[in-house]
Every structure is written in C-alpha cells, then in structure tokens.
Amino acid sequence: MFTKIIVPVDISTLDKGADIFRKAASLLDEGGKIILLHVVEEVPSYLAIDMPADLIANATDEAQDKLVKLRDDTGIDAEIELRSGPPAREILACAKERGADLIIIASHRPDFSNYLLGSTADRVVRHAVCSVLVRR
C-alpha cells in the first residue's frame, strides 16, 4: 500500500505512539520504510534564560531512548529521526524531504482550544502533500 510512512510520536503519550506504529507496519509495502519521528519543541529565548542549559539535549536523549525502546519492544524495523522546532512544521518538512506517501498521526479529542489555535494533527492534515491518517 505505502512505501514510506512517517510516524510522529509524542513520547508523553507513548501508548498512542505504539498504536500508530503498529498500524503503520500493517500498511507498509514489502521493502518499504517507516520513519519514527519525534519533534522536541523549541523553548522561546525569553524562557530559556531561566532553564538549565542542557534541557534540550536531555529531552532529545530521552526521546531517542524511548523511540529505540518502542522499536525494540514491537520488533518493527524503523528508522528514528529527531528534530526540533514547531511539531507540525517539522512533521511536514520530514515528509517532504523523505518523499513520504503517508503520515500516520495520533490525535486527542478536540476541545475548545483546538478551534482557536488548531492542534498539530489539524495543521498536518491541512498542509500535507501526501495522505494523512489520523488515529484517535
């Protein structure tokens, strides 16, 4: 069905990440590739002054460890990619750069704040140039 699937995982909700990772494996063509992606959000400079200098590095290391554990626990072959920046922008950039034909993203139930600001999944769906599967 699909030859290159981007699976963005929020490590704070790893159970949803595992669910969409398994779904990606079921939709992948033989010889295809899954990219497990985590985006570490940047801290605004006016806040970064009061934070430990290694905060982002620690967050990146933690994300790497959790994604490797997820990959190992499921036994599903995948490449791991870490990025920093606004999540929707980085997910879309990864999909474009990698030539993905599907993004599978987890979503939470929308609440009022989603109608004012929009969630990451909403932004990815609106701006992706490939197919997007949103899993609740």
Domain boundaries, the chain: 2-135
pLDDT tens-digit series, residues 97-119: 999 999 999 987 666 555 544 58
Instruction: For tokens 């992948």, name the residue.
Output: 28
Alpha helices (H) along the chain: 14-27, 45-48, 55-74, 87-98, 112-116, 120-127
Beta strands per DSSP E along 26-119: 28-40, 79-84, 102-106
Architecture of the structural domain at 2-135? 3-Layer(aba) Sandwich (3.40)
Instruction: For tokens 């929308």, name the residue.
Output: 110
Could you tell me if 3 and 29 are in contact, meaning their C-beta atoms sit under 8 angstroms apart? yes
Structure confidence at residue 109 (pLDDT): 66
Instruction: For tokens 């801290």, name the residue.
Output: 43
pLDDT tens-digit series, residues 52-98: 767 777 888 999 999 999 999 999 999 999 999 999 999 999 999 99
* DSSP assigned state of 12: G
Tell me the C-alpha distance between 36 and 17, whole Å: 9
Maximal CA-CA distance, the chain? 49
